[in-house]
Amino acid sequence: MLIDSHCHLDFPELASDESGVLARARTAGVGGLLTIGTRLDQFAKVRAIAERHDNVWCSVGVHPHEAREEGQRTPDRLLEAARHPKVVGIGETGLDFYYEHSPRAEQAESFRAHVAAARQSGLPLIVHTRDADVETSEILEMEHGHGAFSGLIHCFSSGPEVARRALALGLYISISGIVTFKAAEALRAIVRDVPLDRLLVETDAPYLAPVPKRGKTNEPAFVAHTA
């Protein structure tokens, strides 16, 4: 049985055909899905999808692009939402210095609040990092020094040093369809060195469809091509 550890069933490309997306996932052998929260003001919609389906769970979090959103720079609202039985993760959170839709300082503050929520709730932290590998690793290591927490680097596309530091903290590495791309040999080399019991697969649907579905709207059924 496969599990898509990271998808966005609330995004319009998938939400418009929710039943079809889930039916195709079942046919492809995908037995469980985790739909990811990216904004607190849209969490109710994410949670409702998980409530409708026995094989769908969700996370609560604020994507670094949305780090200006009110109420997420302390762990309180995250912890309140995390009490729901369908919530199994905190995030996605982290740092994105590629687009910088939010100031770096606000991204870091939000990231730390999510780490605190993960530590206090016991739920795994779902980490997004892009063009911020050094800063992401430093925050994770510093926060780990204040108390252990579990988690993963989602849609891993960083270098071997990030993988090494994440694994040293007990985190998991989650790979997306990027690993199937022709130009991703360096990433495949890193993945080959990750212990199988620390490796997860995801789609990040509706984005990053794997070969041979590249160019199409990604969906959980395609996670088999990455696995």
Which string of b and e fits 81-111 if b means at least 16 CB within 10 Å? bbeeebbbbbbbbbbbeeeeebeeebbbebb
Of the candidates 163, 174, 106, the one whose C-alpha atom is nearest the C-alpha of residue 140 is 163
| Residue 72, pLDDT score | 76
Residues contacting residue 80 through CB under 8 Å, at least 6 positions apart: none
Along the chain (227 residues), what's the average pLDDT of each consecutive run of 10 residues? Answer: 98 98 98 98 98 98 91 89 98 96 95 98 98 98 98 98 98 99 98 98 98 97 96
Q: Is the whole model's pTM more than 0.75, yes or no?
A: yes
Contact 75, 113 (CB under 8 A): yes
| Domains of the chain in sequence order | 2-226 (3.20.20.140)
Please report the pLDDT score of residue 26 as a whole number. Answer: 98
